Amino acid sequence: MELLLVLVALVAVGAGVVVVGRARVGRIEARAEQRRLAEQARLDARRTMDVVLAMNDRDFEGYVADLCRRDGCSDVVRVGGAGDLGADVIAFLPDGRKLVIQCKRYAPHRSVGSRDIQTFNGTARAEHHADIPVFVATCPFTKPGRDFAAKHALVLIDLDLLGFWNTGSPLSSFFALDITRSGTHKRPKPKSTPKRPARRLPPTRPGKAT
């Protein structure tokens, strides 16, 4: 009888180990699937940006203004031009806070550094009295730039985050992001122009013997 009880206990322990093991594997697979879906969403958002990258500066500013209107902003004005002091778009959130947005349509392999962000921070707050300065760029921000933005409560939207904004994420969803960790951190390599194959000359015919 005792032997039977021992065997039953061993079977129960073994079954428990199997269940725990399967649960652990299930959690690992679930986390992997979440990472895969997040990466796929990022790539899908990025693919939709080809049209945006083909815009000129004025059209890009208008596009950002349209996204603000879509997300419920009022009194949206495209200001960009000579003497705009860094304000390409000005808008007001539904709660009344004032947005001042600078738009930079750069090639994706370029970057926006700390100096540009510091300059924008000064003009957005001192000249335009922004409650929330927002810097939108079609390229990455450097680490010093992101660190400065985090310290001074600027919102940075790079190419990846712009892709999510473009596909439906509300502007307000970017306000609480840890900008030192979110978005793109590495500049993509510029697209290289494919080299044309060397032109082959036709073979020279040997001269006739005289």
pLDDT per residue over 166-183, tens digit each? 988 999 999 988 887 766
**Average pLDDT score, the chain:** 81
Query: 21 or 83: which carries more pLDDT confidence?
Result: 83
Instruction: Tell me the two tokens of residue 54.
Output: 């083909």
pLDDT per residue over 79-113, tens digit each? 867 677 889 999 999 999 999 999 999 999 999 99
Percent of the chain with pLDDT over 90: 50
Residue 192: band (very low, low, confident or very high) from pLDDT cuts 50, 70, 90 = low
Find tokens 């061993």 and name the residue: 10
pLDDT per residue over 112-142, tens digit each? 999 999 999 999 999 999 999 999 999 999 9
Instruction: Tell me the two tokens of residue 194.
Output: 């494919």
Percent of the chain with pLDDT over 70: 70
Provide the β-strand partners of residue 101: 89, 134
Residue 193 has pLDDT above 70, yes or no: no
Residue 188: band (very low, low, confident or very high) from pLDDT cuts 50, 70, 90 = low
Residue 204 has pLDDT above 80, yes or no: no
Query: 90 or 12: which carries more pLDDT confidence?
Result: 90
DSSP string covering the chain: -HHHHHHHHHHHHHHHHHHHHHHHHHHHHHHHHHHHHHHHHHHHHHHTTHHHHTS-HHHHHHHHHHHHHHTT-EEEEE--STT-TT-SEEEE-TTSPEEEEEEE---TT--B-HHHHHHHHHHHHHTT--SEEEEEESS-B-HHHHHHHHHTT-EEE-HHHHHHHHTT--GGGGTTS-TTTSS--SPPPPPPPPPPPPPPPPPPPPPPP-
